[in-house]
Structure 1
Amino acid sequence: METVHKEISAEDTCIEREMEFTPAYRWQHWIRALSIVVLTVTGFYIADPFVAPIPNSEPTNFMQALFRGWHEIFGFVLIAVVVFKSYLFVFAKRYRDEIGSIKDFINPKTWIKQIGYYLLVSKHPHLKGTYNPLQFIAYLGFYMLMFILILTGLILYVHVYHEGLGALLYESMRSFEVMLGGLAWVRELHHIAMWGVIIFVVVHVYMAIFNAVFGKEGSMDAIFSGMKWHKKH
């Protein structure tokens, strides 16, 4: 962890510059964000085509196949990123503070102070982990949605591609398909999870801006530069 102290007054107040997000964390965040955008747009098109191909006398304007292809490419990119982030959360020593957020999550006093902070009636509580209780439950829900999207997406994938990876996953995905109530319900669950992710993204962006404005610690900057700023007395 990198810490740099710079004096900002004649007294003992200074600014502590702290590494919040490593390059690996920032790259996976932005790749995941790009994947979500591409998957959302292409997913909407696959469900209800909203773009007509340019008229052509030759049967070469396979617009549905084009959107489906990009959907599958970024679907596997998203799988890779989610698996990588899950590995960092569970095994990487640098991210032990993320697991430490569980202590704040089960602490009622931290919940009360955090809600008071968002209502602008109290200061931000001191946290033992990386995330406050509301952030932790939001990220927990987000990754549950991610795993639902991945599972249902793979089930749909093996029904289109029957060789290679599709053949390898076919039997196991068919078992999950039966457990989930059939292919029609798998499709609906995939769409429901997508809407859950869209809602999360909107709230996530709003809260990031809120914390940047009222926290004044460079919360928005940190996901670009990796650094946050803290006042230290």
Structure 2
Amino acid sequence: MLRRIFVFSASLRIWHWINFLAIMVLFFTGLYIGTPYFTTSSGYEATYAYEKNITMGFIRFLHFSAGYVLLFSFLFRIFIAFFRKGDRLFIPKFWTIEYWQGLKETVMEYLFIKEHRPMIRNPLARTAYFFVYLMIFFMIATGFGMYGLSDPDGFWASLFGWVVWSLGGEFEAHYWHHIVAWLIILFFILHVYFVSREDFTHKNGEVSSMFSGVKFFEKEPVDIDDVK
């Protein structure tokens, strides 16, 4: 008989989907800002561009608006971490033998060599999420740092301007902003694959859990204390 375990709070699920939408808008508008005519070979003549609402000004407005959503979403994620055990921000315990054993076990599972023990969040997922949070913070810091360049004495320049110059200047900040954006998209692709694979092989509701908050297990997960 499958055991029903509540894993993801409503707050965490709302954050997940808002974060996803903000990142998608940021990624595609960012592509357009970096390469304005990536949609066609030559782009639209100015008159028709206005008719189709794809002027650079409008795209930049969408990009910056989604940037604010991502910022407040990130702050919201930190906020809810203090109110529920299962919503904590986990730092992988790189210094423990158990972490490396669990990581090896998970990799063997994904290589179809050996099935891992039931886990709510396996060590590989914990590690990936940890670095994704760092990448999101990096994108916020570099994004608003570059945004603040238009007003060197303004709030964003004061808060994140140092990030731009610590990377070597505006060009280098743009470069790393672009690279990390692609790393986040790579994570997204792998994330979709792994959660779909987990749901298909173990029938544990991995995909639906981000809608219902619930996962199903035949045996008690080894990390059950993380949510209770």
TM bucket, shorter chain: 0.7 to 0.9
Counterpart amino acid of residue 117 in structure 1: E
Structure 2: where are the runs of 5+ without partners?
Answer: 221-228
Comparing both chains, which one has the higher relative contact order based on Cα–Cα distances under 8 Å and sequence gaps of 6 or more? 2
Q: Is the 8 A contact 2:145 2:162 kept in 1?
A: no
Instruction: Give the corresponding residue for 2:69.
Output: 77
Distance in structure 1 (CA, Å) of the matches to 2:65 and 2:144: 12
Superposed counterparts of 1:49-198, under 5 Å: 49-50=36-37, 51=39, 52-53=43-44, 56=47, 63-89=55-81, 91-95=82-86, 99=90, 102=93, 106-107=97-98, 108-127=100-119, 130-160=120-150, 162=151, 167-198=154-185
How far did residue 100 of structure 1 move?
8.0
Give how far 1:81 is off. Answer: 1.0
8 A contact 2:198–2:206 mirrored in 1: yes
Identical amino acids, percent of aligned pairs: 27
Asked whether the equivalents of residues 177 and 183 of structure 1 are also in contact (C-alpha less than 8 Å), the reply is: yes
The count of aligned residue pairs is 214
Offset of residue 38 of structure 1: 0.6
CA distance, structure 1, for counterparts of residue 136 and residue 91 of structure 2: 22
Instruction: Tell me how large the CA RMSD over aligned residues is.
Output: 2.8
Q: In structure 2, what is the Cα distance between the partners aligned to 1:185 and 1:193?
A: 12
Structure 1 residues 53, 118: CA separation in 2 closer, same or farther (over 3 Å shift)?
same
Cα offsets for 1:81-119 (capped at 9, x unmatched): 112113333x23332675386489751322232222112
Q: Which of the two has higher C-alpha Rg? A: 1
Letter in structure 1 aligned against 2:184: V
Stretches of structure 1 that go unaligned for 5 or more consecutive residues are 1-13
Q: Does the C-alpha gap of structure 1 residues 115 and 222 become closer, same or farther in structure 2, counting only changes over 3 Å?
A: same
How far is the alpha carbon of 1:78 from its aligned partner? 0.7
Name which of 219, 222, 232 aligns with 2:209: 222
Q: Distance in 2 between matches of 1:103 and 1:174?
A: 32
What is the TM-score normalised by the length of structure 2? 0.82
User: Contact 1:153–1:190 at 8 Å: present in 2 too?
Assistant: yes
Q: Which segments of structure 1 move beyond 6 Å, counting only runs of 4 or more?
A: 59-62
Give the conservation status (yes or no) of the 8 Å contact 1:28–1:85: yes
TM-score normalised to structure 1 length: 0.81
